[in-house]
């Protein structure tokens, strides 16, 4: 979707004729940066989730490596969605700011709907992963802390 917006802005002669977008607008810069950032974070998210599917894990990897990859994958998924919505908002502003400004608020509200759905569904999973991986519960050591202690004792022994 973001790449389609990019080709609409840069390649369409009709858009250049009817809206006459000067290249100095801040919205064009915001769109270009958020479009590129969305592309990079989407690719990173896809590669992280594919690495989870294709990597062979041992028992210890389920406590450290897998949660780290899931946390990073979910975090980049959130960033990708935010960047996509920012790019979408910038292109809407470029197209409709002069002709139909009343359309900006409802469309921007509907554009935030995917982000609210993803946050509602995936944020509890991300919080649980972070808590179970990095925060000790009831004074117990996390697996990461016990690995550090075991490494020190095995090196000294």
DSSP character at residue 141 = P
pTM of the entire structure? 0.69
Spatial distance between the Cα atoms of 53 and 73, rounded to a whole number of angstroms: 12
Neighbours of 17 (CB within 10 A): 8
The answer on pLDDT for 85 being more than 50 is yes
Spatial distance between the Cα atoms of 79 and 41, rounded to a whole number of angstroms: 7
pLDDT tens column, 108-117: 788 888 888 8
Pairwise pLDDT comparison (153 vs 55), residue with the higher score: 55
Residue 59: φ, ψ to 5° = -65, -40
Joined together, the tokens standing for residue 114 give 């995917």
């Amino acid at each position: 979707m973001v790449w389609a917006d990019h080709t609409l802005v840069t390649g369409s002669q009709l858009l250049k004729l009817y809206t006459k977008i000067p290249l100095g607008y801040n919205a064009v810069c915001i769109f270009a940066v958020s479009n590129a950032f969305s592309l990079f974070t989407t690719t990173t998210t896809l590669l992280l989730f594919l690495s989870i599917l294709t990597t062979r894990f041992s028992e210890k990897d389920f406590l450290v490596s897998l949660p780290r990859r899931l946390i990073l994958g979910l975090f980049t998924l959130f960033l990708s969605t935010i960047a996509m919505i920012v790019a979408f908002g910038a292109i809407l502003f470029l197209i409709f700011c002069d002709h139909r400004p009343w359309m900006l608020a409802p469309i921007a509200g509907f554009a935030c709907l995917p982000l609210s759905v993803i946050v509602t569904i995936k944020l509890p999973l991300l919080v649980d992963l972070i808590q179970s991986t990095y925060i000790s519960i009831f004074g117990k050591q996390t697996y990461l802390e016990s690995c550090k202690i075991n490494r020190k004792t095995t090196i000294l022994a």
